[in-house]
């Protein structure tokens, strides 16, 4: 992965988002109850924004904010039909977070090797 250094210490990747950063973005998108409710409603198929607004009893600007977070994370897609916007789940949108979580299955728990650390014990 090519990196571009900007400013004093920030590093900006060029190209695809590193997996860890992608998982962090997905976890952020999944960390809100309203966004989880939206995903639950979209699980049954495409929905118009007006349907989501009614189902969640929320104002359209607030819903738009949450839909933008989900879209930016790659979890939902939208399409326009005249003045209406329709949202649906992105196929495979949560695959990275699913793979990350399942990667912990079967791993040993606890400290790996307490003697490997050279820090003084206090």
pLDDT one-digit tens code per residue, 31-84: 999 999 999 999 999 999 999 999 999 999 999 999 999 999 999 999 999 999
Tokens of 54: 């009614």
Helix or strand holding residue 89 (H, E)? strand 84-89
User: Could you give the count of Cα atoms lying within 13 Å of 79 in the half-sphere of its Cβ?
Assistant: 6
Q: What is the pLDDT of residue 4?
A: 39
Tokens of 114: 């307490």
Domain extent listing, the chain: 2-95
- As beta bridge partners, residue 79 has 86
Model confidence, pTM: 0.72
What are the residues facing 4 on neighbouring strands? 12
Domain 2-95 bears CATH identifier 1.10.10.10: yes
Note the pLDDT of residue 9.
36
């Amino acid at each position: 992965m090519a990196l571009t250094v900007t400013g004093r210490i920030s590093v900006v990747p060029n190209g695809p988002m590193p997996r860890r950063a992608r998982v962090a973005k997905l976890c952020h998108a999944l960390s809100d109850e309203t966004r989880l409710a939206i995903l639950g409603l979209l699980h049954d198929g495409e929905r118009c924004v007006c349907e989501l607004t009614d189902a969640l009893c929320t104002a359209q600007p607030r819903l738009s904010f949450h839909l933008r977070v989900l879209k930016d994370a790659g979890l939902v897609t939208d399409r326009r039909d005249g003045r209406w916007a329709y949202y649906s789940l992105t196929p495979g949108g949560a695959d990275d977070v699913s793979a990350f979580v399942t990667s912990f299955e079967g791993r040993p728990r606890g400290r790996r090797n307490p003697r490997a650390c050279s820090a003084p014990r206090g």
